[in-house]
Structure 1
Amino acid sequence: ALGLLLCWEGRELSLHWCHKVLILLVIGICSFFFWLLFTYWKERWLTIGLSLQVFAPYIHLGSISMMVMVAWPVAFYVIHLEGEAKIRRYKITSNERRRNKMCNMITKLRALQVAVVLPFFLILLCLYVVPWGNHSPCIQEKDKLGPKPSFFGHRGAPMLGPENTMMSFEKAVEEGAFGLESDVHISMDRVPFLMHDYDLRRTTNIREVLPNASLKHPGFFGWYFLSTLNAGKWFSHSWVKPFYHMKPLSEADREKASKQKIPKFMELLKLAQREKKLVIFDLNVPPRQHPARSAYIQIAVREILDSQIEQHLIIWLPGSQREYVRSRAPGFQHIGRLFTIEQLTKQNITRINVDYKRLFYNGLREYKAANININLYVINEPWLFSLAWCSRIQSVTTDNIQVLNKINHPYYFMTPNFYMLMWILMDCASAIFIVAIFYFHWWRESQSEKVLRGISSYAETPSISLQKE
């Protein structure tokens, strides 16, 4: 920035070669840093973009307030430049060389004024008219607000108990979950069990029991060995916080968590049947050389049917062999992913389960127009849940059910009339303040100019009288 200002003044930059190398190095490091930021934070940038749909009205009003505060230094600088230009105009002499130099300086001062004032007022004008293009879902009439989305407990309630354990699912039921979400693997002896990861290190004590096999795929173990592993001790430690907003466990819950085991899929199904909760699950394909690789769909369907759970409580997510599943269990509710409307219609699917970042950027309106029910995952933040609610999403999968379930009205919701009133009042008030700020600086500069004129005229009077004498 300093170099640009020096170039503006017409001064040549005399840099040592060390300085040039240092500047290039800083530019390279900054470029690399931004590349990493945009590459590895891509998902977070998408979330930030979505947050603007909720916070845009408040950012707009806050930006106008900021422009009012910025108006003070802008007005001071611009009026000061105007005073400088007037002073230099008074000093113009008959000497042609000095006259040209002074005129060039006045031109630069005028250019600086334009460079400061023009962007300021263009930004201000954009802020004044931006609500015309603001279509936030949270700005709508109250009677158009849809019902509160239902909740699927993501691996249960993983902020209240170890994920994919019976304690976690029981906590989700206690918090009012509409359904339970889990991940299913098939053991070597064809027993479906609940586990998310592709190894057992994170959520079990496999490193203590069998450290040499800790990287092994869960499906390559028999159920007897899996049932002996502890699946909750990692969660019960006081220093463990899988989630940033997670509250400390009570002593009773910590003790209960430390005794959790890997549950069978059957245990989850029986809990869902008893509590009349929906079940949605990811069915992981067994690895190669696994004895159940070609029959894992049949094993999962048989397990569900053997549990005697009501078929309408099962939301079938796996995309393979849907015709077979429909023939064996016609009561299952089939749910798709982010397929096209034509694909969903062809497969007779009226519900999708999709990552919220992908949906909000890819055809939310088209799915709603086609009457496709939508389940979003994973929604943990209240503002994001409010966005889903205002967008008339039917259900969400969440880790934070104990917080979201207590929200009885979407955050940051406002009616169009209220927003328009705030918009007009803020625009009018800011315009009055900005005009007053510029007028104040102009008045103060004019007072200073009068004083300078008085001093200069007083200084010139004796010289004139001396010349007459």
Structure 2
Amino acid sequence: METEKTRNGFFFFLSVVFLGTGVWFFWSLVLLSLFWILAIYMSLLLALGLLLCWEGRELSLHWCHKILILLVVGICSFFFWLLFTYWKERWLTIGLSLQVFAPYIHLGSISMMVMVAWPVAFYVIHLEGEAKIRRYKITSNERRRNKMCNMITKLRALQVAVVLPFFLILLCLYVVPWGNHSPCIQEKDKLGPKPSFFGHRGAPMLGPENTMMSFEKAVEEGAFGLESDVHISMDRVPFLMHDYDLRRTTNIREVLPNASLKHPGFFGWYFLSTLNAGKWFSHSWVKPFYHMKPLSEADREKASKQKIPKFMELLKLAQREKKLVIFDLNVPPRQHPARSAYIQIAVREILDSQIEQHLIIWLPGSQREYVRSRAPGFQHIGRLFTIEQLTKQNITRINVDYKRLFYNGLREYKASVTTDNIQVLNKINHPYYFMTPNFYMLMWILMDCASAIFIVAIFYFHW
């Protein structure tokens, strides 16, 4: 992301990011919704059981019911533990998503409260009627009188327990826009520029990732830059591969099954160049990406013949097409002959390719002084620091996971997005989920007034 001050590109950035990650977000919400529904259902059952016990009624549960309740509680607890333990990073995505969709969630929640008002009003008025009946039944018998009074008190307490949270939540929904700072709400003339797009491992929905076909497809779709992952082979040849073994994206298990778990860097380039790196993509019955369009016969044939490319091949393509290149340079494992010299090998490979130095975005953080001395034209990249810190280190770009970004932190930067879905995002010319402050205020007032009228009418009808 260039450290060029612009207006606010945050919303445009998020809109394209969430289109790219929308499938994951959708299924995450589905799973979370199922867990929350199950948890709420169990909470309601427990609350109902406590209320029945409060009224002096025995639950009379069968042993099967007791076992099932304990089993469901255990399963819910286990899944919530998994979510909070292994989805720490993804909770950040959910929080960011809620911030973006806050206006729509707010308006939808008010509509939901209107629907919930019907059963709430019915239950509260039913309790009121029962309290009246019991009040009329009070006799002169002191013991019976005390019992009836206690029952009436419980009924009143139930009414308060149901009505008070309902109206408190409704009141919060009525006033929550005062504290809503969603990037979805802003004036059109303050909308930042459209971000540029880097092809993440090329165009992995159009060709096998980290192959020349994938990068060529990214260029065809108008990628601003190309992103890849670089390993160093045993004979010191930089090549493109993301994983720490070759099982997922090559046919290593067919060729050399006993070595399928071996680190890619422990193979020589001659062997690596013989592996097929495309059949897993073109002939797999499971699509690598959800909603991925079917390949044409020509693309399927081309994909099935892809090989692991050298880093040099990507640099030649970027030089020819004048595209920026950013890459993760993987540190070779221990006992690898190039472990202490992998930075020098990568720099030498780039210089040998004759690519213009300003097209290289240098991501590795180690040995920056050496890299600057050998290739002063490289654009160095850093983390999310202040403009002053970045300027002091002579860093012109930052590379940050979008989940780590925040509203005020991004306003000073011009956004570039690394995406798997470049063929779709590059065609978007305006942000989604957008509304002006005046329109949102109008919808807010209308929804508040209409919902208040409906809720009053519902309570009046039941009364």
Task: State the TM-score, normalized to the length of structure 2.
Answer: 0.85
* 8 Å contact kept, 2:211–2:307: yes
* 8 Å contact kept, 1:175–1:405: yes
1:199-230 residue CA offsets vs partner (Å, 9 max, x unmatched): 11111111222222222211122211111111
Structure whose CA Rg is larger: 1
Deviation (angstroms), 1:292: 1.5
* 8 Å contact kept, 1:230–1:259: yes
1:257-298 residue CA offsets vs partner (Å, 9 max, x unmatched): 001111111111111111110000011111222222221111
Distance 2:426 2:410 in 1: 24
1:39-81 residue CA offsets vs partner (Å, 9 max, x unmatched): 1223332221111012111111111001111111111221222
Deviation (angstroms), 1:3: 2.2
Q: 1:112 to 1:244 in 2, by over 3 A?
A: same
DSSP-derived class of the 2:395 partner: coil
Deviation (angstroms), 1:366: 7.9
* 8 Å contact kept, 1:165–1:261: yes
Deviation (angstroms), 1:327: 1.1
* 8 Å contact kept, 1:158–1:399: yes
Distance 1:421 1:16 in 2: 54
The answer on 1:363 being equivalent to 2:409 is: yes
Shifted more, 97-106 versus 269-278: the winner is: 97-106
Distance 1:225 1:339 in 2: 43
Deviation (angstroms), 1:307: 1.1
Give the equivalent residue in structure 1 for 2:213: 167
Distance 1:18 1:156 in 2: 55
1:232-271 residue CA offsets vs partner (Å, 9 max, x unmatched): 1111115131111212111110000001111111111111
Shifted more, 218-227 versus 22-31: the winner is: 22-31
* 8 Å contact kept, 2:379–2:396: no
Distance 1:22 1:435 in 2: 41
* 8 Å contact kept, 1:314–1:333: yes
* 8 Å contact kept, 1:190–1:299: yes
* 8 Å contact kept, 2:246–2:261: yes
1:305-339 residue CA offsets vs partner (Å, 9 max, x unmatched): 11111111110001111111111111110011345
Distance 2:426 2:192 in 1: 16
Distance 2:61 2:218 in 1: 65
Deviation (angstroms), 1:116: 1.1
* 8 Å contact kept, 2:358–2:378: yes
Distance 1:38 1:98 in 2: 52
Distance 1:301 1:108 in 2: 78
Give the equivalent residue in structure 1 for 2:258: 212
Q: 1:360 to 1:432 in 2, by over 3 A?
A: same
Q: 1:273 to 1:327 in 2, by over 3 A?
A: same
Q: 1:208 to 1:16 in 2, by over 3 A?
A: closer
Distance 2:63 2:124 in 1: 38
Give the equivalent residue in structure 2 for 1:237: 283
DSSP-derived class of the 2:408 partner: coil
Q: Can you give the 5+ residue segments of structure 2 that lack an aligned partner in the other structure?
A: 1-46
1:344-376 residue CA offsets vs partner (Å, 9 max, x unmatched): 3442213211111122399546879xxxxxxxx
* 8 Å contact kept, 2:183–2:407: no
**Aligned ranges 1:88-127 → 2 under 5 Å:** 88-127=134-173
Give the equivalent residue in structure 2 for 1:143: 189
DSSP-derived class of the 2:382 partner: coil
Q: 1:157 to 1:208 in 2, by over 3 A?
A: same
Deviation (angstroms), 1:157: 0.3
Distance 2:71 2:99 in 1: 38
Shifted more, 423-432 versus 223-232: the winner is: 223-232
Deviation (angstroms), 1:15: 6.7
Deviation (angstroms), 1:118: 0.7
Determine what percentage of the aligned residue pairs are the same residue: 100
Deviation (angstroms), 1:162: 0.3
Of structures 1 and 2, the one scoring higher in RCO (CA 8 A, sep 6+) is 2
Q: 1:155 to 1:87 in 2, by over 3 A?
A: same
Q: 1:13 to 1:236 in 2, by over 3 A?
A: closer
Deviation (angstroms), 1:26: 4.3
Distance 1:175 1:310 in 2: 22
Shifted more, 209-218 versus 127-136: the winner is: 209-218
Deviation (angstroms), 1:14: 6.6
Among 404, 428, 432, the alignment partner of 1:411 is 432
DSSP-derived class of the 1:354 partner: coil
Shifted more, 97-106 versus 335-344: the winner is: 335-344
Among 394, 400, 425, the alignment partner of 2:421 is 400
1:376-411 residue CA offsets vs partner (Å, 9 max, x unmatched): xxxxxxxxxxxxxxxxxxx01000111111211111
Shifted more, 137-146 versus 338-347: the winner is: 338-347
Deviation (angstroms), 1:18: 8.0
Distance 1:343 1:200 in 2: 39
* 8 Å contact kept, 1:238–1:248: no
Distance 2:336 2:372 in 1: 25
1:420-455 residue CA offsets vs partner (Å, 9 max, x unmatched): 1100000000001111111112xxxxxxxxxxxxxx
Q: 1:19 to 1:78 in 2, by over 3 A?
A: closer
Q: 1:62 to 1:181 in 2, by over 3 A?
A: same
Deviation (angstroms), 1:341: 6.3
DSSP-derived class of the 2:248 partner: coil
1:82-101 residue CA offsets vs partner (Å, 9 max, x unmatched): 22222222333333232222
* 8 Å contact kept, 2:101–2:184: no
Deviation (angstroms), 1:29: 3.4
* 8 Å contact kept, 1:270–1:309: yes
Q: 1:431 to 1:21 in 2, by over 3 A?
A: closer
Q: Can you give the 5+ residue segments of structure 1 that lack an aligned partner in the other structure?
A: 369-394, 442-469
Shifted more, 294-303 versus 40-49: the winner is: 40-49
Q: 1:108 to 1:163 in 2, by over 3 A?
A: same
* 8 Å contact kept, 1:156–1:168: yes
* 8 Å contact kept, 2:275–2:308: yes
Q: 1:432 to 1:128 in 2, by over 3 A?
A: same
* 8 Å contact kept, 1:234–1:240: no
